[in-house]
Amino acid sequence: MNHSLEDSVLSSRDSLNKILNTVDQWSMTMSKSGYLLSMFVICFSSAHAATINVNTTLSGMRSDNLCSIAEAITAANQDHPVDGCASGNGEDTLLLEAENYVLSDVDNINDGPNGLPVIQSSIIIQGIGEHTIRTFISRDAKVVVDPSIPFTDPNPAMRIFRVENDGKLELRNLGVVGGFLGLKRGFPEIEDGSLDFQGAGILSTGLLSLHHVEIGGNIAAGNGGGIYFIGQLEISNSTFRFNQAFESGGAVAGAGTLIMRQSVAHNNSAGNSRGFGPSDVNVSASGGA
For 1-13, the pLDDT digits (tens) are: 444 544 544 454 5
Cβ atoms of residues 255 and 279 within 8 Å: no
* In a domain? residue 87: no
Domain containing 163: what range?
99-286
Q: What is the pLDDT of residues 79-132, one digit of tens each?
A: 999 999 999 999 999 999 999 999 989 999 999 999 999 999 999 999 998 778
Give percent above pLDDT 70 in the chain: 69
The per-residue pLDDT for 49 is 83
The per-residue pLDDT for 36 is 40
Amino acid at 64: D
Task: Please give the full DSSP string across 57-115, using - where no structure is assigned.
Answer: ---S---SS---HHHHHHHHHHTS-BTTBPPP-SEEEEEE-SSEEE--S--EESSSEES
Cβ atoms of residues 190 and 220 within 8 Å: no
Q: Is the per-residue pLDDT at 266 higher than 50?
A: yes
Q: What is the mean pLDDT of the chain?
A: 80
Same domain, 226 and 135: yes
Record the pTM. Answer: 0.79
Same domain, 135 and 264: yes
Give whole-number Cα distances, 261 to 53, 67, 159, 269, in Å. 29, 33, 25, 21
Give percent above pLDDT 90 in the chain: 61
Same domain, 41 and 128: no
Number of domains forming the structure of the chain: 2
What is the C-alpha R_g of the chain?
28
* In a domain? residue 73: no
Residue of higher predicted confidence among 16 and 86 = 86
